[in-house]
Homo-oligomer: A and B are copies of this chain.
Amino acid sequence: MKTRVHNFNAGPATLPLTVLEKAQAELLDYHGLGMSILEISHRSTAFDDLMTQVEANLRQLMGIPSSHKVLFLQGGASLQFDMLPMNLLPKGGSADYIINGVWGKKALQEARKLGNARAAASSEETIFDRLPDPSRADFDPQAAYLHFTSNETIHGNQWGEAPSPPSGVPLVCDMSSDILSRPVEISKYSLIYAGAQKNAGPAGVTLVIIREDLLDRVPQNLPAMLDYRLLAEKGSLYNTPPSFSIYMLGLVLRWLLDLGGLNEIAKLNAKKAEIIYQAIDQSGGFYRGYSRPECRSLMNVTFRMASEALENAFVKVAAEQGLIGIRGHRSVGGLRASIYNACPMEAVKALVDFMAGFQVIHM
């Protein structure tokens, strides 16, 4: 087997080695049943126990109160861009979106296919190098909800505190890229959704955490697979769930609990990000952070160099030395190191060592 590379992929992303080893060890025989987790029925006691445990561990880690339902869905955050307005944007109503990156913009575009939705605030004018200032936002006090993206992976910005919606407006968050990376106060949120493939597990499962009373607003007669109320009633088992992805999510949650929970992982994440941003800031301009310091993402460190040629050389030599996934998103270029929960400190240290060495040679 090849030595594990240092994996800075933006998602699907690196997973904890112990999680992969556990999955490998029991892949042919789940819990002594004589079947793989891939082969057991989603109507079996074993799967029922798995779902119960995964939800209980998620609730414990995130402090999800009983006021909120947890759903395990498919289709990624992109399908939530549509399900959210289908379920919670009534005809004649309007929804507000804060746009601090490409994903929020896509969410708004999708919502506009289905109803009225507005950008209450946006930092697109400065190409998402910062967060929009909530104090200058044009919030609609009657909005069906206020949507924001807690962390934008492409330009690399992140909200510290969540923006506050006008009184009575439900707060909705696309938390795909920083869920489980730090504690959040769930009671502030009416709905949180997240594709799992960054901090929570592999691709194929999408988390939705929804305040139960919002389910009363879901219109009648939605397509079954797009109906939050029905999916909640059925305990995410209206049809066959993506069972392996849910199982892997469960292993990741267990790993987080064993680490000490979200306070502990948040400290580690802050430390990892600090090390790379410091390397950038102390490079005398050889590396330049993309996002404004006060808005920097702890998950996706975006930076540039003096020329594209230099950036290409950086990516190429880094890959040769086992540092993978450093190229910025194809839509913006530059460099990006995604350092989600499972990215180990040694990968971060290897990266800053490499950055220092590369600078010496190319300065």
By a beta-carbon cutoff of 8 Å, the part of chain A in contact with chain B is 1-5, 7, 9-15, 17, 20-21, 23-24, 27-29, 32-36, 38-43, 74-79, 81-82, 86, 110, 113-114, 195, 197, 202-204, 221-226, 238-245, 248, 322, 324-325, 330
Q: Which residue of B lies closest to A324 (CB)?
A: B35
Contact A42 B240, beta carbon cutoff 8 Å: no
CB proximity of A335 to chain B, nearest CB, Å: 15
Contact B325 A4, beta carbon cutoff 8 Å: no
Closest 10 CB pairs of A and B: A82-B223, A5-B34, A204-B242, A74-B74, A78-B239, A2-B34, A38-B202, A24-B27, A79-B225, A1-B29
Which of B11, B223, B239 has a CB less than 8 Å from the CB of A240? Answer: B11
Contact B33 A12, beta carbon cutoff 8 Å: no
Q: Which residues of B contact A75 (CB under 8 A)?
A: 74-75, 79, 225
CB proximity of A22 to chain B, nearest CB, Å: 10
Given contacts A223-B110, A244-B202, A245-B204, whether A39 and B27 have CB atoms under 8 Å apart is no
Which of B12, B39, B113, B114 has a CB less than 8 Å from the CB of A38? Answer: B12
Q: Which residue of B lies closest to A86 (CB)?
A: B223
Which of B21, B40, B203, B322 has a CB less than 8 Å from the CB of A12? Answer: B40
Contact B248 A38, beta carbon cutoff 8 Å: yes
Q: Which residues of B contact A203 (CB under 8 A)?
A: 38, 42, 240-244
CB proximity of A274 to chain B, nearest CB, Å: 24
Which of B4, B12, B221, B324 has a CB less than 8 Å from the CB of A113? Answer: B221
Residue among A27, A29, A35, A226 with the highest chain B CB neighbour number at 10 A: A35
Contact B11 A21, beta carbon cutoff 8 Å: no
CA of A5 to CA of B40 in the docked complex: distance in angstroms?
A: 11
CA of A86 to CA of B21 in the docked complex: distance in angstroms?
A: 42
* Number of identical protomers: 2
Q: Which residue of B lies closest to A225 (CB)?
A: B79
CA of A34 to CA of B34 in the docked complex: distance in angstroms?
A: 30
Contact B5 A28, beta carbon cutoff 8 Å: no
CA of A54 to CA of B79 in the docked complex: distance in angstroms?
A: 24
Q: Which residues of B contact A239 (CB under 8 A)?
A: 76-78, 195
Contact A35 B7, beta carbon cutoff 8 Å: yes
CA of A9 to CA of B15 in the docked complex: distance in angstroms?
A: 30
CB proximity of A125 to chain B, nearest CB, Å: 25
Task: Give me 17 other A-B pairs in contact (C-beta within 8 A), A38-B203, A74-B242, A113-B223 excluded.
Answer: A4-B35, A5-B33, A7-B34, A12-B39, A17-B28, A20-B38, A24-B27, A34-B322, A38-B202, A43-B330, A78-B225, A78-B238, A81-B223, A82-B224, A195-B239, A203-B241, A204-B204
CB proximity of A320 to chain B, nearest CB, Å: 12
Question: What are 14 sample pairs from A and B whose C-beta atoms fall under 8 A apart?
Answer: A11-B240, A14-B35, A34-B324, A75-B75, A75-B79, A76-B239, A76-B240, A81-B224, A81-B225, A114-B223, A195-B240, A204-B245, A242-B242, A242-B245
Q: Which residues of B contact A325 (CB under 8 A)?
A: 41
Q: Which residues of B contact A248 (CB under 8 A)?
A: 38
Residue among A24, A27, A38, A202 with the highest chain B CB neighbour number at 10 A: A38
